[in-house]
Structure 1
Amino acid sequence: MSLKSCEKVEKSQVVLTIEVGSAEFEAAIEKAYQKMRKKINVPGFRPGKAPRKVIEGMYGAEVFFEEAINIAFPEAYEAAVKEQELQVVGYPAVEMVGECTKEGFTFKATTPVYPEVTLGEYKGLTAEKDEVKVGAADVNERLKQLQDRNTRLVSVDREAKEGDTAVIDFEGFLDGKPFDGGKGEGHNLELGSHSFVPGFEEQVVGMKAGEEKDLDITFPEDYHADLAGKAVVFKVKVNEVKAKEVPELDDEFAKDVSEFDTLKDLKADLKKQITEERQKDADRAFEDAVMEQAAANITAEIPDAMVENQCRQFLDNFKMQIAQQGIPYDQYMQITGMDEAKLLEDAKEPALRQVKMDLTVAAIIKAENLDATDDEVEAEYKKLAEQYNMDIEMVKKYLPAEQIKDQLVSQKAVAVVVDSANVVVKKASAKKTAKKTTKKADAETAEAEVETAETEAEKDAE
């Protein structure tokens, strides 16, 4: 292989002009012959036994050229890349230069390479950071969630009312004939959930266990074509009526759902949890904001291949998520009517942002001469082992040390930006916070929302 030229062109691409000489091409032709001879029929010879000269005599000296080029190209290209110490980020576009003869051939390979990155301002940046406040309404909302999770359904001997769950058998009839999808047995229907066709649940209200009833229902005009706007009859039997048994919010409840003996202690812990969660969210949002600024300040000609590779990575992650839900990817795409080409197109903008972020982090690592020691890597292994309750050797088996080291160094780069940044505290709004935490926020709740942690503590003490 002889590298004739290496020329940088736009968008971080390099054009390599490479010549494959006669000796190298002859070796490639011999390999092509060994690979292809079994597929070439030559009269008087068993398959694969005809000499190369005989085959070339019958079909021409060029019979093996195409396959030989395919064999010679990768080795020549990789040698040229290595010689120039190029950091390739995609596949090359190849074109032949002149004719291919037994003396060899010349080709051009245009390949995308890792771009040169010039850092802009990345220290002393400024961004807003949400003020973290947790009030009584936040704690009460979290407490309500605990209460809902521990609510039981118990059978009751009375008429069903909204909020109850009716266990029903049903069958729908159109013009006196059953229709597809209109039958169910032992179905748990929460009255007021609006999970059935409009008018259905309302007519089940008032029924008792063992009662049967015909429900006259007209499907909405926007229902699927077969039943849209049609009047049908559902024959319904109520097998059981269940009501919610909501636990009292008292010390006994605290003991049942937590490690605490009193409701007061449970509330204090919930407040601590919410505060920590919101602080993490605020920290993460601030980090994202300043890192996006740092990424916006870099100068780099980003090759399309890097963005396309990131788009593919996003798609692969999406496929993995779908698989984890137990749904075949092709089936999911068919059901949802989604198109892979559209997914990739939509991914271009976030992919470009991610590529710029990665380039920024790498450039900061280089500029700050950041590294991670063996002790830091070992400490991270120990932390992960404790976090996931795994043997440390098992963690090491699945996570190579180099990967851990890369993560630690990247974290240090982000810390350089975040730790030097200026924080503008974004005050929490009483009205906004109340809307976030309660659906029916009255004046008393809104006032409680803006109380400080110290005021809350004083109230608890009283």
Structure 2
Amino acid sequence: MKSSVEKLSETRVKLTVEVPFEELKSEVDQAYSALAQQINIPGFRRGKAPRQLIDARVGRGPLLEQVVNDMLPSRYQQACEEHELAVIGQPNIDITKIEDNELVEFTAEVDVRPEITVPDFSKISVTVPALKVDDEAVEKQIDQLRERFGELKDTKRKLKTDDFAVIDLKATVDGEEIEEAATEGMSYQVGSGDLIKGLDTALRGMKTGESGDFTTTLENGEHEGKEATVTVTVQQTKERKLPELDEEFVQMASEFDTVEELRDSTKEQVEQQAKTTQAGAIRDEVLKAALAETDFELPQGVVDEQVHAQLHQILGQFGGDEKMLNSILESQGMDREEFDANNRKNSEEAVRTQLFLDAVAEEEQPEVSQQELTDHILFTAQSYGMDPNEFVMQLQQSGQIANLFADVRRGKALAAAICRTTVTDEDGNNVDPAEYYGEEEVEEGAE
């Protein structure tokens, strides 16, 4: 077999491969055996007909087609290995020549990994939010628990933030009522800010039975960007009464017996949440800083595959209906062109990050144990809400276990690199990244 490689760009090459027929004996034998089983020639048992009779019956075309299909994967792989190509993505293969009993020639254009120079992580410095856990944060979380057991009760006083109201809404633009904006009997929490801009301000101070008008700029729909007059009528006002924070409540709502035990446990939870947030900030800031120091060309074929995969995933939420997607985008004030541009930008960022982390992994050379891979598979299955055994079967059938292995390897490599960086918080305190990304912490995080 002869092969040559032509560099088309920094991230794409073209292989030209010639395979002499004498090297295809095993593929030819297999092709004849397969054809012999498919045809029936009088006087011969199925599978036992001589080759010349098979050629006479079906011609050489089907045989050559089968031979080429059988030999392509192995010869393509062999050529990649001979030229030490770090290929990514699927090749675009073209059969350029078939000379019976002489040779088969094909070309393969494929993306390759760009050359990436990994920066010196010991020279990277980042700043992250300070780790702050105060009594206010603890009490806020305890209040959230109390709210879960709170009761809504009618009130005659004026509405204030966090109260609930049953309201009617209608809106007009240039004196014409907008039917799709009208609603009756809607329950709304004052201060949530998740409906119409200006509604919370209008509701504060209103009582049951009162109506009021306010103006707002519509953000979605047919009248997007237009100024509307909105009328809100309060049908009911309710306030949430929280249970007293005492031992009776604690024993009913938690696993603890005393208020002090609940506070201590809640403080630990808040501290852990703060640490998790800080750890994520360290990772994000270090990765952002490292990528800013690294410039490389993206393989467009891989980016295109990512764009297609992301679009396919999003369309799957709408049954593959692009018209429905476009309609929803329009209701959100976005056209398809803007959506596609955002999708490509996000895909480019995802590909850039993954290629960079692969380069970090090649430099760090972390070892991934079977237990670490198993833990990651179990964690991923749990995040998808799947039975671990079913998830593993799907991974095996789709050949995706190697991808999860690569995920663990990238994570361990980045963790090792992060430990060499300098991290300070916004208050000027030094933060030891090894507290979050040291070897023991990484192993515990995988469990």
State whether TM-score is above 0.5. yes
2:136 equivalent in structure 1: 137
Distance 2:344 2:257 in 1: 55
Query: After the TM superposition, which residues 309-388 of structure 1 pair with which residues of structure 2 at under 5 Å, given as runs?
Result: 309-315=305-311, 318=314, 322=317, 330-336=323-329, 337-339=335-337, 340-366=339-365, 370-374=366-370, 376-377=372-373
Counterpart selection for 1:305 from 297, 301, 304: 301
Deviation at 1:311, TM superposition (A): 4.0
1:6 equivalent in structure 2: 5
Q: Which amino acid aligns with 1:142?
A: Q
Contact 2:172/2:229 (<8 A) preserved: no
Cα distance per residue 1:340-377 (max 9 Å; x no partner): 532333225413431333322331354xxx32344555
Does 2:265 align with 1:269? yes
Alpha-carbon distance change, 190 to 283 in structure 1, aligned in 2, over 3 angstroms: closer
Counterpart selection for 1:289 from 263, 285, 288: 285
Distance 2:114 2:65 in 1: 30
Aligned pair count reads 387
Distance 1:268 1:375 in 2: 34
2:409 equivalent in structure 1: 409
Alpha-carbon distance change, 119 to 150 in structure 1, aligned in 2, over 3 angstroms: same
Alpha-carbon distance change, 307 to 74 in structure 1, aligned in 2, over 3 angstroms: farther
Partner-residue secondary structure (3-state), 1:128: strand
Partner-residue secondary structure (3-state), 1:132: coil
Partner-residue secondary structure (3-state), 1:279: helix
Alpha-carbon distance change, 7 to 241 in structure 1, aligned in 2, over 3 angstroms: closer
Tell which deviates more after alignment, 279-288 or 378-387: 378-387
Q: Supply the RMSD in Å over aligned alpha carbons.
A: 5.6
Query: After the TM superposition, which residues 62-101 of structure 1 pair with which residues of structure 2 at under 5 Å, given as runs?
Result: 72=68, 75-76=71-72, 79-85=75-81, 86-92=85-91
Contact 2:4/2:16 (<8 A) preserved: yes
Alpha-carbon distance change, 225 to 147 in structure 1, aligned in 2, over 3 angstroms: same
2:440 equivalent in structure 1: none
Cα distance per residue 1:93-149 (max 9 Å; x no partner): 56787x888777755433222345554434575433443121223223333433444
1:423 equivalent in structure 2: 423
Tell which deviates more after alignment, 418-427 or 101-110: 101-110
Query: After the TM superposition, which residues 150-229 of structure 1 pair with which residues of structure 2 at under 5 Å, given as runs?
Result: 150-155=149-154, 158=156, 161-162=159-160, 165-167=164-166, 180-181=179-180, 184-190=183-189, 195=195, 205-207=206-208
Partner-residue secondary structure (3-state), 1:347: helix
Contact 1:16/1:108 (<8 A) preserved: yes
Q: Which amino acid aligns with 2:328?
A: I
Deviation at 1:21, TM superposition (A): 6.6
Larger Rg: 1
Does 2:245 align with 1:242? no
Contact 1:365/1:409 (<8 A) preserved: no
Partner-residue secondary structure (3-state), 2:4: strand
Partner-residue secondary structure (3-state), 2:141: helix
Alpha-carbon distance change, 308 to 365 in structure 1, aligned in 2, over 3 angstroms: farther
Deviation at 1:91, TM superposition (A): 4.1
Distance 2:386 2:55 in 1: 60
Contact 1:155/1:243 (<8 A) preserved: yes
Deviation at 1:383, TM superposition (A): 7.9
Distance 1:93 1:391 in 2: 37
Distance 2:393 2:180 in 1: 50
Contact 1:88/1:113 (<8 A) preserved: yes
Contact 1:312/1:344 (<8 A) preserved: no
Q: Which runs of 5+ in 1 are unaligned?
A: 35-50, 430-462
Distance 1:302 1:171 in 2: 51
Deviation at 1:397, TM superposition (A): 4.4
Alpha-carbon distance change, 184 to 309 in structure 1, aligned in 2, over 3 angstroms: closer
Seq. identity, %: 21
Tell which deviates more after alignment, 279-288 or 307-316: 307-316
Q: TM-score, normalised by structure 1?
A: 0.60
Q: Which amino acid aligns with 1:151?
A: G
Distance 2:297 2:340 in 1: 25
Partner-residue secondary structure (3-state), 1:17: strand
Distance 1:295 1:345 in 2: 18
Deviation at 1:275, TM superposition (A): 1.4
Alpha-carbon distance change, 309 to 384 in structure 1, aligned in 2, over 3 angstroms: closer
Deviation at 1:272, TM superposition (A): 1.7
Distance 2:117 2:408 in 1: 23
